[in-house]
Amino acid sequence: MEISGKTKVFCVIGDPIEHSLSPIMHNAAFRHLKIDAVYLAFKVGAKMLEDAVKGIRSFGIYGVNVTTPHKTAITNYIDESDSVVKFVGAVNTVLNSEGNLVGFNTDGIGALRALEENGVKTKGKKFLLLGAGGAGRAIAFQLAQEADELVILNRDVAKARLLADALRKRFNKEIFADSPSRDVLKNWIGNVDVLINATSVGMHPNEEQTPVEKGLLKPELTVMDIVYNPIETRLLKDAKSIGAKVIYGTEMLVFQGAASFEIWFKRPAPVKVMREAIFEKLQTGGLSLGR
């Protein structure tokens, strides 16, 4: 596609950013739909974030994805935020509406769409969520609106309890918090339908690590890991080996990206095209350590 003075510019900002898959995914969508746009990756250090946001305004960059380490800090420089951002305190998508920067967080809806598109209904189900960081909070916010019961386990138990309390008050649901010790995991796994790993345990280069030992898993469980490097984590390998249903982190990556696309263009994203672009890149060794 020819780039001209009319071409809209989109980007992802973060540090590191060199291995981001977002340009692969979104540029494939632009080509498929013949949208006159280009998506780039910009390395932005923590000290340069405010200047980068000024650049987004002045250059008229239409849409931005935000990754580590800026998801929280960028809330200080945007004009508006959606309800998820206000609760979670983190932004991963920005819409530039004629200089007015609006922040969104699509991590949670990306996780829910990944579940639903893989045949897992959220309503009436019991979920066990590992992690209460940025992605974990966003996923918890969405699950609390749909699930029958939610358990949040985090190494910093106080953080998990604060999150559970806030969600309980907001949605009036059964939400619990505890540490991810073996005894606690054993107790809860036997009483839930879906396990989601929203921690970085098992991410490259620590592929042999797992947040849950194989002996605690059960065939009736659905297991989703938001880690996508490697594509098949040890947790997912173990779950698959005992007959449990597994959902790969690439699914959440695609659907949170699709949600960003739909915020920017107000039209359905070409999910199949975006997924195929990511898998092609991953399978040729272009593994991403960031967004």
**Enzyme catalytic residues:** 71
Give 3-state DSSP helix, strand, coil % of the chain, rounded to 5.
45, 20, 40
| Cβ neighbours, 10 Å, residue 206 | 13
Residue 161's φ and ψ, nearest 5 degrees, are: -70, -40
| Long-range contacts of the stretch 112-115 (C-beta < 8 A, 24+) | 112/139, 112/142, 112/143, 112/146, 113/255, 113/258, 113/259, 114/224, 114/247, 114/251, 114/252, 114/254, 114/255, 115/194, 115/222, 115/224, 115/247
In whole angstroms, how far apart are CA 137 and each of 57, 159, 217, 246?
28, 10, 24, 21
